[in-house]
Amino acid sequence: DAADRATRFADTNLEIIRVSDVLVCVLREHADVHVGGSVEFLAKGLKRGLPVLELRVGEHDGLPVVRAVRHHWPGTPGLRGWAPPQLPGGLGDLSRKGAAAGTGTPPSRANVFRDAEAALGQLARSGDDASVVQRRHFRHAAQIIITTHLLATACAVAITVASLPAPWVATLLALEFTLLGGGVGTHLWLHRARAAHSWASYRRAAELAISVQATRNLRASLEHLFTLPFPTPLRPVLHTMYVLHLVISRHPRVGWEAAREAYVGARLEGPRGQVAYYTRELGRAQSRLRLANRSFLVVASIALLITPVKLWLAPWLLTLLPGADPAQGLPAVEMAARVVSILFPMLAVAALSLAASFDLEARVHTYQETLHDLQVLQAGIREADSAREFTVLALNAERELLAETANWASRRSFTGGT
């Protein structure tokens, strides 16, 4: 946006340095320093501490000579603090699966578009399948942890309140110990296996691949891949996604009007569209959140009222019942009251703990906002009357969808248990 050419080149140099892991700089042996030139580019890259391959081109006896100088290069003695980018988490396994599923044919101009789309499709399918498995592991583990602790508490209450024979007490103690050990062991496994983190990583990778596939007919820069709050270790994947988009969008299959209809029909509308998905998931999250909150209120209210019932209401009711002996009935009422006062607060906490583990309140809030924004964008895209307007609105929709995924993954990555 600058007025002069030199400043535009300087801005370009800064952007290249910002997004690059390694710099390769080719320049004349005795090149002069200019604003926005290659020498300034080289100096700024060295100042940032990036690995730089400097190729100086000179002349000797009428022939070109290239002198290579490596700065901050991996393997250089004394160099620390930099390593080649690696795929985060288990995404390397997905990459190897995709390579194994490929044809093994070297890239060529004839098949590069097909191979790029196949790579995105494989990553989307593999990431989605892996995220489903990890989500199931996390959900089952959370349910096991809460259930075992509730049952262990029930065993402890039975031992404390009831007058049981010694064999029954020993059995309940052993059962309580086993249940607590199982719950703690599941909790430790959940942290050690990082099921929530893996779930978030796989889901994030799948959504990225799906988003890039959806923009295959958009001749535009996917700069939102680098401005959204994705973690730094994911940057190699983002670079790859960006390059794959450049490949598959080079020759759009259809004109912009047909691309608009296809985008609205496949990406936003329809039974598998994002509007239907967020509508469905919002309803589920709202129902589960209402159930958790109502369960908490009911159970907590019973626990709160049990003391006045035990002290005043129960003795009065026993005096009204014909043939009832308050001396015999009150101990049973007191025992039941002690059980309720101990166990029901645990049930109330369990309801809230499950709601927090499944991120219900945050999901309801974010799904409502995302659904509203998508519906507004959907109407705008449907009425777009130029390729530029359609491209801008479609990119806004993809930014909205990936922003929700990035925020969800950030929350979920640090939920290790209950």
Among 221, 261, 208, which residue's Cα sits nearest to residue 401?
208
pLDDT of residue 418: 47
* Percent of the chain residues past pLDDT 70, beyond the cut: 81
Among 267, 263, 278, 270, which residue's Cα sits nearest to residue 369?
278
At residue 416, does pLDDT exceed 60?
A: no
Q: Which residue has the tokens 């999901």?
A: 363
pLDDT of residue 105: 47
42-49 contacts at long range (C-beta below 8 A, 24 or more positions apart): 44/13, 44/14, 44/17, 45/17, 46/71, 46/72, 48/17, 49/81, 49/82
User: How confident is the model over 121-148, as a mean pLDDT?
Assistant: 83
Conformation bin of residue 194: beta by default, left when phi > 0, alpha when psi is -120 to 50: left
At residue 186, does pLDDT exceed 60?
A: yes
The Cα–Cα gap between 194 and 199 comes to: 8
- Torsion, CA 273, CA 278, CA 281, CA 284, rounded to 10: -120
pLDDT of residue 330: 53
Could you tell me the pLDDT band of residue 314, with boundaries at 50, 70 and 90?
A: low
pLDDT of residue 90: 61
Question: What average pLDDT is seen over the chain?
Answer: 81
pLDDT of residue 101: 45
264-295 pLDDT per residue, tens: 999 998 888 999 999 999 999 999 899 988 88
User: How confident is the model over 92-120, as a mean pLDDT?
Assistant: 58
Which residues sit opposite 71 in a β-bridge? Answer: 52
User: How confident is the model over 127-137, as a mean pLDDT?
Assistant: 83
Among 144, 130, 137, which residue's Cα sits nearest to residue 196?
137
348-391 pLDDT per residue, tens: 888 888 788 778 888 899 999 999 999 999 999 999 999 999 99
Angle between helices 195-214 and 91-101 (to 10 degrees): 50
**358 φ, ψ (degrees, to nearest 5):** -90, 5
